A and B are shown apart, each in its own frame.
Chain A
């Protein structure tokens, strides 16, 4: 799992079976210091609470397909949690 920041939403009415009711959010991957790293991805919101600007963590590949209620939904990234805080030991020094 990795940190990400929600930077947008995607609406798609015509979708593959199993995707109805799935909310799509655009997530900017972050490094451990919450700096942007890599290209944004579109992730299913398996928490249904993530809003724009929110710090989240997400899973990829098969684990994303297993994050939603219906087993094996055709998604390759899924937000599985909102982040309240990240405390790094190096920040204490």
Chain B
């Protein structure tokens, strides 16, 4: 999984049915020193807040398991809120 910081929200009125009602967060990917290294848009399932550090699962089949679906265009899912990295 990847460590990231929630940078903001994405509002999408028209989308593929899978994303209807999903919360989309734009996240800065962080390296271990905390420096931003690219970004991605992920579906949030843990109510992460903007500014929080999070864990992103960035692989399709695991992501689809989270939503208990066998097919769907989902890959990046926020699966945890980071308390501490040491």
A interface residues with partner B (beta carbon < 8 Å): 1-3, 31-32, 46-47, 49, 57, 59, 61-64, 66-67, 71, 78, 80-91
> Which B residues lie within 8 Å of A85 (CB)?
10-11
Chain B interfacial positions (CB closer than 8 Å to A): 6-16, 18-19, 24, 26, 28, 39-42, 50-51, 60, 71-76
Residue of B nearest to A72 (CB): B71
In the bound complex, how far is the Cα of B28 from the Cα of A86, in angstroms? 14
8 Å CB contact of A1 from B8, B51, B75: B75
Instruction: Judge whether A81 and B12 touch: CB under 8 Å.
Output: yes
Does B19 contact A86, Cβ atoms closer than 8 Å?
Answer: no
In whole Å, how far is A45's beta carbon from the nearest beta carbon of chain B? 10
> What are 27 residue pairs bridging A and B, where the CB atoms are less than 8 Å apart in the complex?
A1-B24, A2-B41, A32-B26, A32-B28, A46-B73, A47-B14, A49-B14, A57-B12, A57-B24, A62-B60, A63-B72, A63-B74, A64-B73, A66-B73, A71-B71, A80-B19, A82-B13, A82-B14, A83-B10, A83-B11, A85-B10, A86-B10, A87-B9, A88-B8, A89-B7, A89-B50, A91-B8
